[in-house]
Amino acid sequence: MKRGWFFEIPKNLDANLLFKELKTYCSPSDVERAVLAYDYAAEAHKDKKRYSGEPYITHPLTAAYFLAKMHIDINIVIAGLLHDVPEDAGIPLEEIAKNFGDDIAGMIKGITKLGKLKYRGLERYIENLRKMFLAMAEDMRVMIIKFADRIHNLKTLEFHTPAKQYRIAKESLEIYAPIANRLGMGEFKGALEDLSFPYVYPEEYARVKKIRDNFISESEEYLEQTMETAKKELAKNNIQTIDVHGRKKQLYSLYQKCLAKNWMVDQIYDIVALRVVVKDLGDCYAALGIIHKLWRPLKGRIKDYIAQPKPNGYQSLHTTVFCDDGKIVEFQIRTPEMHDEAEYGIAAHWHYDEKGKAKIPNRDIPWAKELAKIQKEILNNMSDLENLKLDFFQNRIFIFTPVGDVIDLPENATPVDFAYQIHTDVGNKCIGAKINDQMVSLDTPLKNGDVVEILVDRTRKNPNSDWLEFVKTNSAKTKIKEALNNNKTNWLKKLIPPLKK
């Protein structure tokens, strides 16, 4: 698998560089599809510019390039190229489906919906996200593209107003990064966090960066030597090391640790950890033994995440040892497969190996189960927000307003139910509805993920009593009856004037 930092943007990034990358792992016909998608997107966005002044197409191009660098499945890359076409260029999804197939159009549909979710205070936002998770359980690939999209947006945040910078960065830090983490996508999580960190906590960012920079400049040489010693000793014992490298702790993650340790920085042993990649499971434990023979381990610091993986699937052996001169160093031992999982998590399942052979997509991955777990985790972390039980969501559908709010309704609910969920007045004055931009009758059953727009007539006085025949929610029923009764009483009041005192 490809390793390293995938979110660098080359100075000379253009479509050809993307195609060149794709050629290293895709078939010529797949590359050709990407060329078509690029041309299509470039044409669709041709009149638009980014805040940076660059042509808009640089954005989807960069997002797609990040994905291609990881050797991700071509359809995901193509969806990355096209991801803003419906939203920004107003081209309907059917067009995209016609040109690029249903699979790609389906992903873009998911992204477009995500894009419409707007931050309006944390509580509301978490609420929305929670529902969104379930609504998008159908296709996890959407998240991979969304992360690449967001990472590029974070990298070009400087061109926005401070308020917008803060909003986007905070949302990335608090919502996107934890999701990436939960999905085991370490590379994405690290990038999302470290790109957001300086905008949300500028002073803390500077402080932590200084701590890490100082540590590295003080220990670099020492760590080099330790790495060499370990490598030699492992080789002497017939353990083949595929890779030994130092990994710097990500700044935001270091910040979290500083907080946990009350800024007692000398108690943090993994500002730089030494990573040892060996060929198989047996070698992991063997390597651990050899390192422990070489250097004495700290008590209680040996962690076997192989036997007991972290909840996000992370596997490795961790140990902290007293190296020469009593210096303390953390080692992380793993196989290449564990390494891939740690960096890419769920994304690794759509990854192509070096020979361009898809070991994936693995259709058997239980995404829904994964998402249910995430869901639970989010719920657990929201003790102060109103508790909603998981089963509450069963047999519910999630409907989007045109501005991206999510309304949940029982199955087969209608636009009228939806209208009353938004506001009683919207219900009472509702005269028509559009589902996914199509005019429909008011009794049309809604489907999960529909975007619904309610047309109102402000002069309308009464709801229609016929609606009682088809509405599915009790609240709509009650409100319709209430409105009808009120009007009846009003009418009676007019007929029988109140007695004069």
Contact call for residue 149 and Mn ion (CB under 5 A): yes
Q: Which two tokens stand for residue 85?
A: 């076409």
Q: Is 408 in the site for Mn ion (CB under 5 A)?
A: no
> Rounded distance, CA 366 to CA 362, Å?
10
Output 37 or 321, the one with its CB closest to Mn ion. 37
**Could you tell me the smallest distance in angstroms from the CB atom of residue 486 to Mn ion?**
47
88 is catalytic: yes
Which residue, chain included where needed, has tokens 């249910």? Answer: 372
Q: Write the binding mask 285 to 324 for Mn ion: x where contact by CB under 5 A, - elsewhere.
A: ----------------------------------------
Listed ranges 34-42, 80-88, 192-200, 287-295: which one lies at the site for Mn ion (CB under 5 A): 80-88
Question: Which of 71, 72, 85 has the alpha carbon at shortest distance from 36?
Answer: 85
Cα gap 176→182, rounded to integer Å: 10
Which one, 149 or 193, has the nearer CB to Mn ion?
149
Least distance in angstroms from the C-beta of 88 to Mn ion: 8
Q: What is the residue whose two structure tokens read 């797609």?
A: 64
DSSP 479: H
> For Mn ion, which is the closer residue by CB, 84 or 450?
84
Q: Which two tokens stand for residue 12?
A: 């000379």
Contact partners, residue 496, CB within 8 Å, separation at least 6: none
**Among 146-154, 271-279, 290-298, 386-394, the segment contacting Mn ion (CB under 5 A):** 146-154
56 is a contact residue toward Mn ion (CB under 5 A): no
Which one of the listed residues 32, 43, 73, 88 is annotated catalytic? Answer: 88
Q: Which is nearer to Mn ion, 84 or 370 (CB)?
A: 84
Please give the Cα distance from 15 to 12 (Å, whole number): 10
CB of 406 to Mn ion, least distance (A): 20
Of 60, 137, 47, residue with least CA distance to 96: 60
Q: How far is the CB of 83 from Mn ion (least distance, A)?
A: 6
Name the one range near Mn ion by CB under 5 A: 78-86, 219-227, 256-264, 266-274.
Answer: 78-86
Asked if 144 is part of the footprint of Mn ion (rule: CB under 5 A), the reply reads no
Whether the CB-CB separation of 479 and 420 falls below 8 Å is answered with yes
Amino acid sitting at position 280: D
The 3-state DSSP class for residue 102 equals helix
**Which segment (11-19, 141-149, 219-227, 461-469) binds Mn ion by CB under 5 A?**
141-149
Spatial distance between the Cα atoms of 115 and 103, rounded to a whole number of angstroms: 19
Residue type, 361: P
The widest CA-to-CA distance across the chain, in whole angstroms, is: 108
Residue nearest to Mn ion (CB): 149
Binding flag, residue 168, Mn ion (CB under 5 A): no
Q: Tokens at residue 213, please? A: 């920079």
- The answer to the question of residue 84 lying near Mn ion (CB under 5 A) is yes
Q: How far is the CB of 235 from Mn ion (least distance, A)?
A: 47
Residue type, 330: E
Judged by beta carbon, residue 115 or residue 313, the one nearer Mn ion is 115
Q: Is the bond leading into 28 cis (omega within 30 degrees of zero)?
A: no
Please confirm, yes or no, whether 224 is among the known catalytic residues.
no
Bridge partners of 95, per DSSP, are none
- Output DSSP code: residue 328: E
Least separation, in Å, of the C-beta of 160 and Mn ion?
14
Q: Choosing from 87, 95, 103, 304, which is the catalytic residue?
A: 87
Q: Rule CB under 5 A: which residues touch Mn ion?
A: 84, 149
Q: Among all residues, which ones are annotated catalytic?
A: 87-88
